[in-house]
Amino acid sequence: MYRTISQEDPFKICFVCLGNICRSPTGEGAFQHLVNERGLQAFFIVDSAGTSAYHIGEPANSKSQWVANQNGVTLHSRAARFKASDLEYYDLILAMDHENLANLKALDPAGKHHDKIRLMRDYDPDPGDGAVPDPYYGGMNGFQDVFTMVMRSCEALLSELEEKLDH
């Protein structure tokens, strides 16, 4: 389903959750970390957004940041709300759970962009029910679980996309 990815036309990915302070900043940070590790910065534009406006302008949640840092990943996001016009811009839009997936698809009633709106865990080799559970009201274990699922999914996704690179 993917196009050829070149430095002239980098592949644009957006991770999306509800608040854009826990799960999707972790997706953005983990994927960017892998891209950097593999020296592929010129080929990818990585971003995140939320389907709600609850936390606009905020940095990632301190527990998300702590877990990411423990794993060598830095989270740089500032929360923004996903806009209908973003559907045109990104090549791949990855929802963290089924509700966010439905909310993203509802921004595009005609379905023009539905093929590029997916669950992130569609790429997870151990996908469970396809959702990354919302960690916001729970303890540290939930944040660690989020990181593990996100990193596993991002590794698989990047390996798949690397086959499309035009070096």
**23 annotated active-site:** yes
Tokens, residue 24: 């999707």
Question: Is 121 near ligand 4NP (CB under 6 A)?
Answer: no
Q: Indicate the Cα dihedral angle 49, 53, 57, 58, nearest 10°.
A: -80
115 is an active site residue: no
Tokens at residue 160, please? 């798949």
Nearer to ligand 4NP, 10 or 130 (CB): 130
Contact 146, 22 (CB under 8 A): yes
DSSP 20-78: SSSHHHHHHHHHHHHHHHTT-GGGEEEEEEESS-TTTTPBPPHHHHHHHHHTT-----B
Q: Is 66 in the site for ligand 4NP (CB under 6 A)?
A: no
Q: Which of 11, 15, 20, 153 binds ligand 4NP (CB under 6 A)?
A: 20
Q: Please pick, from the candidates 19, 27, 29, 142, the single residue that binds ligand 4NP as defined by CB under 6 A.
A: 19
Taking CB under 6 A as the rule, does residue 134 contact ligand 4NP? yes
Smallest distance from ligand 4NP to CB 20, Å:
5
- 47 catalytic residue (yes or no): no
Start-to-end CA span in the chain (Å) = 19
Choosing from 23, 86, 121, 124, the catalytic residue is 23
Active site residues: 17, 23, 134
Q: Which residues bind ligand 4NP (CB under 6 A)?
A: 17-23, 54-55, 134, 136
